[in-house]
């Protein structure tokens, strides 16, 4: 099972974004966001929800509970 920190790093890199841009989205600092990606700090639930909406995916995908990135793409 993949870890949250690996998944959010891959999503950010796949979208050609830097940590500062995502930190701004989350209204936090780049240093704090960097700790989410390294797994040093746990990602708060409100940030998890924000990232799921931003990347148009589910929280289950971000948490590594499913490999289905776009579960609602057929809606």
Would you list the domain boundaries of the chain?
Answer: 4-62
Q: What is the pLDDT of residue 10?
A: 97
Angle formed by the axes of helices 4-14 and 30-38, nearest 10°: 120
Domain at 4-62, CATH class: mainly alpha
- 10-residue mean pLDDT profile of the chain (75 residues): values are 95 98 98 98 98 97 92 60
**Burial (CB count within 10 angstroms: exposed 0-12, middle 13-18, buried 19+), residue 8:** buried
Whole-angstrom distance, CA of residue 44 vs CA of residue 66: 20
Rounded to two decimals, the pTM is 0.91
């Amino acid at each position: 099972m993949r870890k949250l920190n690996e998944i959010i790093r891959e999503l950010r890199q796949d979208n050609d974004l830097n940590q500062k841009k995502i930190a701004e989205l989350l209204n936090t600092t780049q240093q704090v966001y960097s700790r989410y990606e390294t797994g040093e700090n746990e990602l708060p639930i409100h940030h998890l929800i924000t990232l799921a909406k931003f990347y148009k995916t589910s929280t289950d995908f971000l948490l590594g509970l499913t490999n289905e990135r776009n579960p609602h793409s057929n809606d």
